[in-house]
Amino acid sequence: MRIAFLTAPEGVEETELTAPWKAVEAQHWIPQLVCTAPGRVQAFRHLDKAGTYPVDHVLAGDTADAFDALVLPGGVANPDALRMDERAVGFVRAFFEAGKPVAAICHAPWTLVEADVVRGRTLTSWPSLATDIRNAGGTWVDEEVQVCHAAPAVLVTSRKPADLDAFCAALVREFADTRHSAAAHT
């Protein structure tokens, strides 16, 4: 399975990128860092610069076709930049339209709100996004991890870095379940 990790060039919360990345690699799936610009992504530990990570794929007019699932790491600046980029918003929307699973943590649901894919879904996030999610037609819950099976795509969400163990376990389980379901229908 090829898993897209979508980020802006700067502002992704490092642990929200690296922990799910390692969970994907542990399954022998292929993580791909997809960015709106070439080069390297500058990660942060809250407000302090952290490591940089090489971009595997620059977002252009892409759809979900090249990938089996999508992970949206948080950080405040990262999803704020992504929700202002039409290519990123369209890329996220394409996963939902294709019925492919998506996982988002912390502030990442801002991009989901912009893509207009939270209506009728139950999800969690960093608490400051609760009103945005409700205003976009979603139901916000304060849970460590929330899995929403509303058609057409599974959505896994978590609130913060402290929830990463539950988030990674849920995304691995749901991505694997979706993979097995898709294989059974082909």
- Residue 136, Cβ neighbours under 10 Å: how many? 20
Catalytic hit among 35, 107, 148, 168: 107
Q: Which residues of 50-83 are buried (b: 16+ CB within 10 A; e: fewer)?
A: beebebebebeebebeebbbbbbbbbbbbbebbb
Rounded-to-integer distance, Cα 140 and Cα 149, Å:
15
Catalytic hit among 35, 46, 57, 106: 106
Q: Is residue 107 annotated as part of the catalytic site, yes or no? A: yes
- Residue 13, Cβ neighbours under 10 Å: how many? 27
Paired tokens of 54: 């090489």
Catalytic residues: 106-107
